[in-house]
Structure 1
């Protein structure tokens, strides 16, 4: 690794002007491109204290061997130059948005003599009009339907040349799905007019064409030309089918791209809906590995740069509005740059209310599902799981294979309703039947470390008890051979005892937290005399892995499958703990005057309330009257009467209240 001090520029060499800088490795390859309002301030931040940099930035400055910069006249110029260099050099340490799938577009090659309609993927070409993106099935159906009304050429150049040479059209020409310009059925000008109509229809002028065909159909009926009227009727039906495929979600003059993202500590998923003519015409998605020091506005800025810059000729496809979840960095300069690509003003804004904000929430939900699907696919692959377990074992220097991993998390709100969760992963997959929940009370609920010590102690005390019980059962004396008299033999109809819940110890215990939580967990195992279970902690801030007694954490590479596995386990433990905490908190939201009656459970409380209607009526009822309620016997009725008599004499008549709002629920 390179020492950053070896290539640090001298003091005063770096200008204070805005500009763009590049880090290069020893082979001269550009590994990072960035921009800054002040080059001196920004570059000095890399060299002032390299040890304090975030992991990926630390790796970048130690991989590089030189840095160079270019001064520009304004922040807009720096934005343009940064994008140009990122596209040219594809630096490994920059954020790169990669499509999570390849989307097809419906394209017309308007630059050719006979424009051709086709399905295209990949890089954009000049002189070609694009519509979409679409899903693979929808685009084929749309194209086939529209060729009935707009019979534009769709054959390859080879088929076109053969038709021109032979003087006979291809099959599409015979079935009226091509105007056959190759054999002179229509002139090049007439064929181009068809292509222009095709583009106009796809561009949002569908109602105009449908109205024109309806007028022609009425005229044909008036002339008694029913055959032509029937063809026009079928054409109208075909156009309406395409037109109505996309539901109207916004006003018909809306031209917008709506972006949303969902991110965690390692990755971000982005989704965009393309709205044209008020209809969602297409959808795209990306999943990107995050850079530690990049904020959400930075992500949005790089996203818009790459999406619209990579589209090549954006004129006619970049919309009037770009709706984003947060304003990107350098929003004004970015809007000016996009306006230059479009040839008209582009408005970048965050929708706050109304239909656009509602659609934004739908796009955000799609992004959330996309990230979950991405992580599920990672977790579901056997090879990836095996690689993750092996990487984790090697990184932590463990002598045993990680066949079973347990993860613990503590959840509470300001020290109330403290709970903990235990989730289990075997062979890299969750084993939900072994998940456990813990309620933490008393001194153990004082703080997170005490709660973690208590939970680990309880869990592994059960394990030791189960282990002892198994040893004792295996040492029982042999009952001996069966009696010789077969007629007196009683068949063994007993079922095996169920397996104890904590019979299997894990190879690795993961706790959600840093050094204090790890040391508390290790101390709990040491107090029980358990020395064959290893403990690590995963801290959320920088995804550091802590070992017991260690002064420094283990830093796993951001692309490590082992880190992905730890993160998934930690997130699952957090989800499970939060769910249990909310359930417990919900039950604690109400208290009742009936709660303190000995022997009166929930079912009998409901029976009393169903019989008497309120707690007030129950308080005034006699023991004989109480016995009319289902499940209330003589002794319990007497207990209820004496309880309320004692409460009344002590002035403790407590109604049922909501402890959060103070609202009286039962009187």
Structure 2
């Protein structure tokens, strides 16, 4: 059987999609080996899946995904909410390559309550697969999780899963449900110091113990204020009953909660119960920072690193993270604050509302604030996400690995003899041929080498913008023999990148041929589609893979050249506009111009200064000051006259428009009369 071509495969899949129903559900794209490579959900399966093979989805990863798919499956459900839950479960099951994922793949710490036991215990764990255990987290700081367990047990005495006496009691209860009533043993150490309630020695019944469990659940969920009020009432009741020992213990617990609250940063109103999710993306990775805010205070913060950051659009990356994060945690907020709302924010809100299962009927909502206190919190989370990604990159030497991969990929894609250790990139900046400049930026070993940056004023007379002549001049000046031998310009480059595509490449090659240079690799970068044009390939440009390290490096080099050229162009333009006026003043040379501008701080202040103020500066002679004032007055008069002409023209246009409108209204009235 002949191998199926890419076009034949797409046509086959299109035909098969005709049988897919237009109903809500989840679809699974598979590769030739039958492995699931992407899982998604849709309100209408057929229409959504056709967008892939018709290339109507503009996400960067779609061409690569379509190239890899060979078949598909789908599951029909009743509504979008069910599709969301099923999609989340299938992503967890298959871990598809094209779905965003956690970068490091490690498990995160949780605080767990063993609800399946008669006397549930609290524990620190990294597993979360037991259905009879309630989990709080995830925590990205293991120390913070352990400290929270210690604080919780000081507030509400509870058995620890690490206690040998508790484990012995649990085994006894498996054989005899009333074993706790028959035990005649000494209290464990935790019970002696007030961290445990004494279940091991029969000092508490399962019903009384259950009250403690419910309290600690509320405490771990962040409901501290309500908890303090409850303990305060108990303390007062104990004092009235003259049970001062119990009142003292309750006071100590209240003090523990207050000390914890003092350490937590108060950020906003008392009633804010929200998670603030901040993202920072760079190349194929993204940092995420979640601020957990309960009762207006930051009680916890978690940070994560996500894989395939650039290949996945913001909406997909945010949505995939939220599904993974809230599937793992049982601590559901009333509000999730994000930069952009997920496409299916309503369905996700229903899913989280079901997980919250509030006795008061509270709902979870997504918000994307643009200003105010919540927007400030979002900015804080995004800043911390950037730092989280930076720490990850330092810890894993990510930049060095990425740069090595990028240079090797460029060597292969551009058919170079060796990795391009020195890259020079050129860009032209001009306005209709005026103040035309060029920039040269240098990347050595894949990193900016700013000491080697150079900038050029284009000397070729230009009546209008001409990037080709400008590029030829720069090539001639930079790669002249005397410049190639000049140590100040560094060594000969391994690769030249021209910002502008094929026309700029053709102009540069013509100049190289004239100069007899044929041993430097050169390419032109088209801005629109990030395509590289090379001299040795007539069939079309070289297209670097989307999201690849090589494409990221090329973009970084191009953007730096553009930034450097624009900065120089604006600098020259600003100086030229100022110099053109002051040059008309007789007796005002470069030294006096510089002194005047230094005294008055700016050209605006100078042109608004009076004759007495200029004379008082004692920078120029009186006759030069008088000439300067006359030139500036003429300049200001011309400017005012131009503004007046523009104002009169605008008023004329308004009056003409009013007359036309009146005429039109009159004609309509006339037609109505007829």
Same fold (TM over 0.5): yes
Q: Distance in 1 between matches of 2:432 and 2:260?
A: 56
Q: Are 1:608 and 1:618, in contact at CA under 8 Å, matched by a contact in 2?
A: no
**Correspondence for 1:95:** 100
Select which of 542, 546, 554 maps to 1:566: 554
Select which of 309, 325, 332 maps to 1:318: 332
Q: Are 1:271 and 1:367, in contact at CA under 8 Å, matched by a contact in 2?
A: yes
Residues 534, 192 of structure 1: CA spacing in aligned structure 2 closer, same or farther, 3 A cutoff? same
Is 1:285 aligned to 2:304, yes or no? yes
Q: Distance in 2 between matches of 1:198 and 1:397?
A: 64
**Correspondence for 1:604:** 595
Residues 194, 322 of structure 1: CA spacing in aligned structure 2 closer, same or farther, 3 A cutoff? same
**Correspondence for 2:5:** 3
Select which of 254, 262, 270 maps to 1:252: 270
**Correspondence for 2:516:** 529
Q: Are 1:608 and 1:630, in contact at CA under 8 Å, matched by a contact in 2?
A: no
Aligned residues: 611
Measured after TM superposition, the shift of residue 398 of structure 1 is 0.6
Residues 631, 465 of structure 1: CA spacing in aligned structure 2 closer, same or farther, 3 A cutoff? farther
Residues 223, 409 of structure 1: CA spacing in aligned structure 2 closer, same or farther, 3 A cutoff? farther
Q: Distance in 2 between matches of 1:225 and 1:71?
A: 63
Select which of 482, 485, 490 maps to 1:503: 490
**Correspondence for 1:433:** 451
Residues 147, 33 of structure 1: CA spacing in aligned structure 2 closer, same or farther, 3 A cutoff? closer
Measured after TM superposition, the shift of residue 261 of structure 1 is 3.2
Measured after TM superposition, the shift of residue 565 of structure 1 is 3.4
Select which of 88, 101, 123 maps to 1:118: 123
Q: Distance in 1 between matches of 2:556 and 2:458?
A: 24
Q: Distance in 1 between matches of 2:462 and 2:402?
A: 42
Measured after TM superposition, the shift of residue 330 of structure 1 is 3.3
**Correspondence for 1:143:** 149
Q: Counterparts in 2 of 1:367-386, with a 5 A limit?
A: 367-371=385-389, 382-386=400-404
Measured after TM superposition, the shift of residue 580 of structure 1 is 5.3
Over residues 364-418 of structure 1, what are the superposed CA-to-partner deviations in whole Å (9 max), with x where a residue is unaligned? 3334444556666777654554343223212221113422222344567898876
Over residues 498-551 of structure 1, what are the superposed CA-to-partner deviations in whole Å (9 max), with x where a residue is unaligned? xx4213222112344543444445455445433222123455655444324644
Q: Distance in 1 between matches of 2:624 and 2:400?
A: 61
Is 1:105 aligned to 2:87, yes or no? no
Measured after TM superposition, the shift of residue 295 of structure 1 is 4.4
Q: Distance in 1 between matches of 2:381 and 2:50?
A: 39
Q: Counterparts in 2 of 1:452-491, with a 5 A limit?
A: 452-461=471-480, 464-467=481-484
Over residues 140-177 of structure 1, what are the superposed CA-to-partner deviations in whole Å (9 max), with x where a residue is unaligned? 33333343333322242656336899945555444443
Is 1:652 aligned to 2:634, yes or no? yes
Measured after TM superposition, the shift of residue 197 of structure 1 is 2.4
Measured after TM superposition, the shift of residue 456 of structure 1 is 4.2
Is 1:296 aligned to 2:301, yes or no? no
Measured after TM superposition, the shift of residue 607 of structure 1 is 6.5
Structure 1-normalised TM-score? 0.75
Q: Are 1:407 and 1:570, in contact at CA under 8 Å, matched by a contact in 2?
A: yes
**Correspondence for 1:22:** 28
Q: Are 2:110 and 2:135, in contact at CA under 8 Å, matched by a contact in 1?
A: no
Is 1:331 aligned to 2:355, yes or no? no
Q: Distance in 2 between matches of 1:34 and 1:380?
A: 30
Q: Are 1:103 and 1:284, in contact at CA under 8 Å, matched by a contact in 2?
A: no
Q: Distance in 1 between matches of 2:251 and 2:570?
A: 60
Residues 132, 267 of structure 1: CA spacing in aligned structure 2 closer, same or farther, 3 A cutoff? closer
Q: Are 1:544 and 1:556, in contact at CA under 8 Å, matched by a contact in 2?
A: yes
Structure 2: stretches of 5+ with no match in the other structure? 173-183, 645-674
Q: Counterparts in 2 of 1:132-281, with a 5 A limit?
A: 133=139, 135-156=141-162, 158=164, 160-161=166-167, 167=185, 171-211=189-229, 234-263=252-281, 266-281=284-299
Measured after TM superposition, the shift of residue 130 of structure 1 is 0.9
Is 1:358 aligned to 2:349, yes or no? no
Q: Distance in 2 between matches of 1:171 and 1:592?
A: 88
Q: Are 1:217 and 1:233, in contact at CA under 8 Å, matched by a contact in 2?
A: yes
Q: Are 1:592 and 1:654, in contact at CA under 8 Å, matched by a contact in 2?
A: no
Over residues 543-563 of structure 1, what are the superposed CA-to-partner deviations in whole Å (9 max), with x where a residue is unaligned? 444324644232334464433
Q: Distance in 2 between matches of 1:449 and 1:137?
A: 61
Q: Are 1:598 and 1:639, in contact at CA under 8 Å, matched by a contact in 2?
A: no
Measured after TM superposition, the shift of residue 435 of structure 1 is 2.9
Measured after TM superposition, the shift of residue 241 of structure 1 is 1.9
Residues 119, 77 of structure 1: CA spacing in aligned structure 2 closer, same or farther, 3 A cutoff? closer
SS at match of 1:244: helix
Select which of 42, 45, 62 maps to 1:57: 62
Structure 1: stretches of 5+ with no match in the other structure? 471-499, 663-667
Moved more, 176-185 or 439-448: 439-448
Measured after TM superposition, the shift of residue 187 of structure 1 is 3.8
Higher helix share: 2
Over residues 80-124 of structure 1, what are the superposed CA-to-partner deviations in whole Å (9 max), with x where a residue is unaligned? 444443333222233335478764333333332332223333536
Q: Distance in 1 between matches of 2:169 and 2:434?
A: 81
Over residues 18-69 of structure 1, what are the superposed CA-to-partner deviations in whole Å (9 max), with x where a residue is unaligned? 354333223222223344455554444555589x998743333333333344
Residues 606, 132 of structure 1: CA spacing in aligned structure 2 closer, same or farther, 3 A cutoff? same
Q: Are 1:421 and 1:574, in contact at CA under 8 Å, matched by a contact in 2?
A: yes
Q: Distance in 1 between matches of 2:306 and 2:635?
A: 60
Residues 616, 566 of structure 1: CA spacing in aligned structure 2 closer, same or farther, 3 A cutoff? closer
